[in-house]
Structure 1
Amino acid sequence: MTQEISAVARHHALDADWGTPPGWRSLSAVNHTTVGRRFIVAALFFFLVGGVLAMLIRAQIATSGNAFLDSNAYNQVFTMHGTVMMFLFAIPMLEGFSFYLLPKMLGARDMAYPRLGAYAWWCYLFGGLILMGGMAWGVAPDSGWFMYTPLSSATYQPGINSDIWLIGITFAEISAVCAAIELITTILKFRAPGMSLTRMPIFAWYMLITAGMILVGFPPLILGSILLELERAFGMPFFEVANGGDPLLWQHLFWIFGHPEVYIIFLPAAGMVSTMIPTFAQRPLEGYVWVVVAVVAMGFLSFGLWVHHMFAVGIPQMAVGFFSAASMLVAIPTAVQFFAWLGTLWSGNVRFGLPMLYLGGFLVIFVIGGLTGVMLALVPFNWQAHDTHFVVAHLHYVLIGGMIFPVLAATCYWMPHFTGRLSSQRAGTCAFWLIFLGFNLTFLPMHLTGLLGMPRRVYAYPADAGWDTLNLVSSMGSFIQAIGFAVFLLDMLLHVRLGRPAARNPWQAGTMEWAMPTPPTNYNFATIPEVQGRYPLWDDAQLGVDAASGKHWLAAPAPGHRQTLSVDVITGSPQSVVELPGPTWLPLYAGLATGLFFICLLFKAYGIAMVGAALALLLFLRWAWQGGLRDDPAPVHAGPGVWLPVHLAASGAPGWWGMCCALVGNAALYGSLLFGALFLQTMAPNWPPATWLDLPAWLGILVLAAPVFAVAAAHWACRANQRGLASQRDLGLVAAAIASAIGVVAFGCVLAALPPASRHAYAAVTTVLACYAALHCGVGCVMALHVALRGRAGFVSVARRLEPDVLRLWLAYTALVAITAAATLYAMPRIMP
């Protein structure tokens, strides 16, 4: 059958299924190439906004006594500069590159959850627009991009400024968490046959660790933002010392996110470097295994460094010593990567293209930033340099050297893949030197102004401080750098029409994204190639031609279906054929409903906010209902003599992996909440509270028994489904729903028994704890009823067991939450006097 289909006919058949709707209907597209490009374009816009804000900062502090901006405007400008660059540019830009590149590198036709990726894009866009709207209306956040309490509390910031930050950032971070779930599942399950973990492209390893860090690192900040907004809106004193709170809790939650975020930004950029350097050296990356181990080590170590941002707040000496040592230890895996890059260049036959200029700039600048980072890890020096311009210089050397320069190199490197054309060597070289020299003129003098005692975040300084000359040089350098970015952007815009046409693989790279036509087709690969090594195109130069001619997997088009392969996580052996959804408006509608919820929270319209939440829930249920099959699917002819089941009838389906990832992120948020409760009880002033919660024994038994019974009923339903007993399955699902509803009522009784949440931090923390558990019981009830209805409608069978299995996972997690929540509620009054 596959021999009868020409390459042209195969292309037309696949393009009909995978194509993006034309015109305004393209907003319904969910294809990873389209979504990745949207992330990149939006991040570029926010980068330009952040750059303009940086110019305003440098114009204000170029000389002493400058009146260009007053203190209020300056506070808004520097807060928004940091917020835009950290939250709306750096991570979304890297996510955009990952969305665009990873399926192509892995040999897949799309990401694991196309609709989730599109929803992530809309959340990112709408969250960013909330922040931009605040700036346009003159009520931008002005408490710093770190929002330290109590300065950001309602007492000192009674306006809407801080609320815009808290709500806009939380909305945008939903995007990051959704993207992390999608990236992890795609990397683990959506690879070409034969691509084992040890054969994955190095960029995939970097993004796998980065996505895991996002999944664990972002929830603490989301929790902190929720707690601070609850304090501002309802007076719940999580950070108010007089009522048992502690502002240091905010710092801990923020920096548990904040320091891993530095590596969340660095690692994808380093993955780009590890991808491009072998191409220009024309040899495989030296020490591939060591680099992977170093990346994994950085991922773990990055979560043990956050306190080095807090050395000056009075941390106990034992903790200070531990975090100082950990901060220096992270230099070891960084050095492993650095020497791997140098070794690859040294042993290869290096070709100097435009991307290599930016890679060279990265190597120089990042070394300087790394050395100053080791200096700041030393506690005595940190005390002297804390909150001075020395820290500003270090931060920019690490982040711009570690992220911007690799991204500029990657833009030059992959632009022919985006557009099929090459950028200008002359304009690109000019832009590089303007950026490189302007960058060093801007930030190198800041080390000196910091050592001379210039504090951060001041909008004016006295003329006799001796900082004028250095600040003027820095400001001049910033404008030179801005001109360089303008030249780079102009070159990128012009080359789309005027650039020289590029060959299919202009750099002679070995990674699989260059095996397809450029610009790429919507379906990536006409047939999915089989992989024999880490650099497939160096192993087989005809790989792309063979894939187009139908010599690999999924050679027969399936009209009306978007098919790709799911493989074994470890070995890369094909396991099933995944059928992915096509264009849909549901992600946009869900994003709008979620946006309605957050905007109503911003303006304290809580009744309408609940309407937005209900609309979002209904849309997600509609989203979930659209998937699945009413009949057991027949196996699909996937390769020569190989028939594979559809993913709904296979074990280890992508949906199961997605729920596992979601629960990991959920557990990180819950763990942060338990950490906050323990921290306040042991470290915060004004404990114990005047009134502890004294729960009756029967209520404690009920809050434990209901969720545990729910998961037991769900397990019984799964076993009944495996035996083909549909009536017993449905009975078990209904029992799980009823038990979950009883759990909601039980935790509602706990909430009714609590003292007012505004009275003391203890009441506030336990209120949030009980609400968290009740919410999960409520979601479990809705999910159980949904699966029961799906079973009655014919979507669940012995073979199609994914949905009951996913429900059981959720309810098992909910039972664990109930057990730990009940233990905390009962133990807190008894552990401490």
Structure 2
Amino acid sequence: MTNISIDKIADLPPQSEQPEDWRRFFGFSTDHKVIGIQYIVTSFFFFLIGGVLAMVIRGELITPESDLVDRAVYNSMFTMHGTIMLFLWTFPVLLGISNYLVPLMIGARDMAFPKLNAVAFWMVPVFGVILMASFFIPGGSSQSGWWAYPPVSLQNPTGNIVNGQFLWLVAVAISGVASIMGAINFVTTIFRMRTTGMTWFKMPVFVWTVLAAQIIQLFGLPALTAGAVMLLSDLTFGTSFFDPAKGGDPVLFQHFFWFYSHPAVYVIILPVFGIFSEIFPVYARKPLFGYKVVAVSSLIITGLSAVVWVHHMFASGTPSWMRMLFMATTMLISVPTGIKVFAWVATIWGGKIKLNTAMLFGLGAMVMFVFAGITGIMLASVPVDIHVNNTYFVVGHFHYVIYGAVVMGIYAALYHWFPKMTGRMYSEGLGKLHFILTFIGTNACFFPMHPLGLQGMPRRVASYDPEFAFWNVIASLGGFLLGVSTIPFILNMVSSWVQGEKAPKNPWRAIGLEWLISSPPSHENFEELPIVISEPYGYGKDEPLVSNPDKLEVNHATS
């Protein structure tokens, strides 16, 4: 499929109207690269806030007694921690990386709808401000967890219409609308704006995974958004969709919530799978093993993700036949996922490995994901899930996915594409220190949660039986180490961006359209659009990626 109307995007502002310094990151830019960095930096700010809340939570749990914060404040803190880390960190930062890379990787000048792209980003800080405001309403902040199950989420201790739970639901609804807007933009861009010769099986796997993730957003987010609006109506206007005291069905909300919120895990992890698929061939100097199968497996995961949500509800009075069905579908989704892991291992095996920071984070994240996958298969089994339901075993599994695989995968991407985004090289010494602290801290914090859960420690508690103290101390020390691990990362990114060594356009000798242009790229990416003639992972092969490489170098006036 060839590109259409790429040169005639009406709402792209002229390059001369864009500020040429740091000020462009604080304005309403329609440049997908600027928007991508805006997403990344904004989400990292909220990541730090969520991390501080996590360390306070672990500070409370370092002793069996509830002796650090009030129990109601503790409940509000873990609600805010989960909501921030999911809706203001992982989703936006991956949108930022995808915003930056997808047009470059498919040979487009920008996203299909640049203004819509900018509007979707600016809804994120609005959502963030409303969410943070919900935490500070005296006596009325949300205490129902990031899942907001009724009837807990229908309690209104202040009696006021505008309370913390109300603002929390408004914020989540705004986030859903913004994400749907972004999904429409990504799907349209990938379908309609690929450059000449960029057929489906010449697209990088990262683009495939972004497409698969955004398709999930389109079919799943309306359910969560509708559920949030209905819950808001119950809380504010006295309707009874989910209020059991008025004949409502609280389990119905769980179906609305998990129909999206389990596939949301694949919205998060699929782009990280794409990051692995881009990084491993570069630093192993080998083609991606089974490229076409790896690409198609992302869409298979998308399809299966729509039929697994009930495994979160095995303890909610689910009929036996439904338990068996969703146990089978949950286990089945491990097949296309396992295909990807096999392909990554085969790609690395026998390669000329370069263990720089990006590769270390990629390998570490893959190992974490394999462990999380093993415990995930355990939780897919009905007897095991019933036994450990609402214990710390589930918390440990979830955090190995979200922090061990996703966050470490995000770090791998930021280090790998940092020279392309900024035109500067980062410090490998600080990067490797960051990796060591993160890898040790992640395992020290989240591994102890598994034996705690198997021993029966419930989640979401501020105090616990002293028999659980040993593993909680280890987990808290690991959590504090994770907090410390962000310091070398911040120092590295800020100092390198300001005064790091200037980066060539392709410091890793990588193959991909984004590496054929200057670092950072010019406003419209390509002076002449590329013509793709081969598959994307030609390491060790003699065939070129494009037919006009000599015409892709641009005169970057704003670097």
Q: TM-score, normalised by structure 2?
A: 0.92
Which of the residues 541, 544, 548 maps onto 1:540? 544
Letter in structure 1 aligned against 2:203 = M
* Structure 2 runs not aligned, ≥5 long: 1-11
Which of the residues 397, 400, 403 maps onto 2:400? 397
Letter in structure 1 aligned against 2:82 = G
Q: Aligned residue for 1:263?
A: 266
Q: Aligned residue for 1:30?
A: 30
Q: Aligned residue for 1:687?
A: none
Structure 2 CA distance for partners of 1:243 and 1:545, relative to 1, 3 Å? same
1:299 aligns with 2:302: yes
Q: Aligned residue for 1:74?
A: 74
Which of the residues 206, 210, 233 maps onto 2:209? 206
Assess if the C-alpha contact under 8 Å between 1:80 and 1:140 holds in 2. Answer: no
| Alpha-carbon distance in structure 2 between the residues aligned to 1:157 and 1:374 | 43
Assess if the C-alpha contact under 8 Å between 2:24 and 2:34 holds in 1. Answer: no
Letter in structure 1 aligned against 2:309 = W
Query: 1:468 offset after TM fit, Å?
Result: 0.9
Assess if the C-alpha contact under 8 Å between 2:63 and 2:473 holds in 1. Answer: yes
Q: Aligned residue for 1:20?
A: 18
Q: Aligned residue for 2:44?
A: 44
Letter in structure 2 aligned against 1:89 = W
Q: Aligned residue for 1:120?
A: 120
Query: 1:328 offset after TM fit, Å?
Result: 0.9
Alignment deviations for residues 678-731 of structure 1 (CA, whole Å, 9 cap, x no partner): xxxxxxxxxxxxxxxxxxxxxxxxxxxxxxxxxxxxxxxxxxxxxxxxxxxxxx
| Alpha-carbon distance in structure 1 between the residues aligned to 2:363 and 2:272 | 14
Aligned 1:404-483 pairs, distance under 5 A = 404-463=407-466, 466-483=467-484
Which of the residues 291, 307, 312 maps onto 1:309? 312
Letter in structure 1 aligned against 2:464 = Y
| Alpha-carbon distance in structure 1 between the residues aligned to 2:497 and 2:537 | 29
| Alpha-carbon distance in structure 1 between the residues aligned to 2:66 and 2:32 | 48
Letter in structure 2 aligned against 1:508 = R
Assess if the C-alpha contact under 8 Å between 2:536 and 2:545 holds in 1. Answer: no
Assess if the C-alpha contact under 8 Å between 1:131 and 1:140 holds in 2. Answer: no
Query: 1:158 offset after TM fit, Å?
Result: 4.4
Structure 2 CA distance for partners of 1:481 and 1:532, relative to 1, 3 Å? same
Assess if the C-alpha contact under 8 Å between 1:390 and 1:449 holds in 2. Answer: yes
Assess if the C-alpha contact under 8 Å between 1:217 and 1:260 holds in 2. Answer: yes
Assess if the C-alpha contact under 8 Å between 2:441 and 2:482 holds in 1. Answer: yes
| Alpha-carbon distance in structure 2 between the residues aligned to 1:412 and 1:137 | 39
Alignment deviations for residues 98-134 of structure 1 (CA, whole Å, 9 cap, x no partner): 1111111111110000010011011122011101122
Letter in structure 1 aligned against 2:18 = T
Structure 2 CA distance for partners of 1:437 and 1:381, relative to 1, 3 Å? same
1:487 aligns with 2:488: yes
| Alpha-carbon distance in structure 1 between the residues aligned to 2:349 and 2:336 | 20
Alignment deviations for residues 310-341 of structure 1 (CA, whole Å, 9 cap, x no partner): 00011000000000111111111110000000
Letter in structure 2 aligned against 1:20 = Q
Structure 2 CA distance for partners of 1:403 and 1:18, relative to 1, 3 Å? farther
| Alpha-carbon distance in structure 1 between the residues aligned to 2:554 and 2:171 | 48
Assess if the C-alpha contact under 8 Å between 1:516 and 1:544 holds in 2. Answer: no
Aligned 1:706-785 pairs, distance under 5 A = none
| Alpha-carbon distance in structure 2 between the residues aligned to 1:242 and 1:54 | 34
Please report the RMSD computed on the Cα atoms of aligned residues, expressed in angstroms: 2.0
| Alpha-carbon distance in structure 2 between the residues aligned to 1:506 and 1:495 | 15
Assess if the C-alpha contact under 8 Å between 1:237 and 1:245 holds in 2. Answer: yes
| Alpha-carbon distance in structure 1 between the residues aligned to 2:38 and 2:373 | 32
| Alpha-carbon distance in structure 1 between the residues aligned to 2:301 and 2:532 | 28
Query: 1:18 offset after TM fit, Å?
Result: 6.5
Q: How many residue pairs were aligned?
A: 535
| Alpha-carbon distance in structure 1 between the residues aligned to 2:410 and 2:554 | 34
| Alpha-carbon distance in structure 2 between the residues aligned to 1:391 and 1:537 | 41
Q: Aligned residue for 1:322?
A: 325
Letter in structure 2 aligned against 1:112 = A
Query: 1:248 offset after TM fit, Å?
Result: 0.3
Alignment deviations for residues 45-66 of structure 1 (CA, whole Å, 9 cap, x no partner): 1111110110010000111113
Q: Aligned residue for 1:102?
A: 102
Q: Aligned residue for 2:8?
A: none
Q: Aligned residue for 1:147?
A: 148
| Alpha-carbon distance in structure 2 between the residues aligned to 1:239 and 1:156 | 18
- DSSP 3-state at the match of 2:230: helix
| Alpha-carbon distance in structure 1 between the residues aligned to 2:319 and 2:477 | 42
1:233 aligns with 2:236: yes
Letter in structure 2 aligned against 1:211 = Q
Assess if the C-alpha contact under 8 Å between 2:422 and 2:520 holds in 1. Answer: yes
Letter in structure 1 aligned against 2:393 = F
| Alpha-carbon distance in structure 2 between the residues aligned to 1:541 and 1:443 | 42
Q: Aligned residue for 2:191?
A: 188
Aligned 1:581-620 pairs, distance under 5 A = none
Assess if the C-alpha contact under 8 Å between 1:512 and 1:537 holds in 2. Answer: no
| Alpha-carbon distance in structure 2 between the residues aligned to 1:526 and 1:110 | 13
Deviates more, 1:74-83 or 1:343-352: 343-352
Query: 1:233 offset after TM fit, Å?
Result: 1.3
- DSSP 3-state at the match of 1:421: coil
Q: TM-score, normalised by structure 1?
A: 0.62
Assess if the C-alpha contact under 8 Å between 1:15 and 1:523 holds in 2. Answer: no
Query: 1:28 offset after TM fit, Å?
Result: 3.0
Query: 1:25 offset after TM fit, Å?
Result: 10
Structure 2 CA distance for partners of 1:518 and 1:456, relative to 1, 3 Å? same
| Alpha-carbon distance in structure 1 between the residues aligned to 2:250 and 2:545 | 59
1:331 aligns with 2:334: yes
Query: 1:240 offset after TM fit, Å?
Result: 2.2
Alignment deviations for residues 165-188 of structure 1 (CA, whole Å, 9 cap, x no partner): 110111122111111000001111
Query: 1:413 offset after TM fit, Å?
Result: 0.3
| Alpha-carbon distance in structure 1 between the residues aligned to 2:25 and 2:477 | 46
* Structure 1 runs not aligned, ≥5 long: 1-13, 551-833
Letter in structure 2 aligned against 1:141 = S
Alignment deviations for residues 12-47 of structure 1 (CA, whole Å, 9 cap, x no partner): xx9954651465896232111111111111111111
Structure 2 CA distance for partners of 1:213 and 1:480, relative to 1, 3 Å? same
Structure 2 CA distance for partners of 1:436 and 1:61, relative to 1, 3 Å? same
Larger Rg: 1
Q: Aligned residue for 1:354?
A: 357
| Alpha-carbon distance in structure 1 between the residues aligned to 2:448 and 2:113 | 47
Query: 1:479 offset after TM fit, Å?
Result: 0.8
Q: Aligned residue for 1:59?
A: 59
Letter in structure 1 aligned against 2:550 = V
| Alpha-carbon distance in structure 2 between the residues aligned to 1:152 and 1:250 | 11
Which of the residues 161, 166, 180 maps onto 1:163? 166
Using the aligned pairs only, state the percent identity: 39
List 4+ stretches of structure 1 deviating above 3 A: 14-19, 21-26, 136-140, 154-159, 536-545
| Alpha-carbon distance in structure 2 between the residues aligned to 1:333 and 1:258 | 20
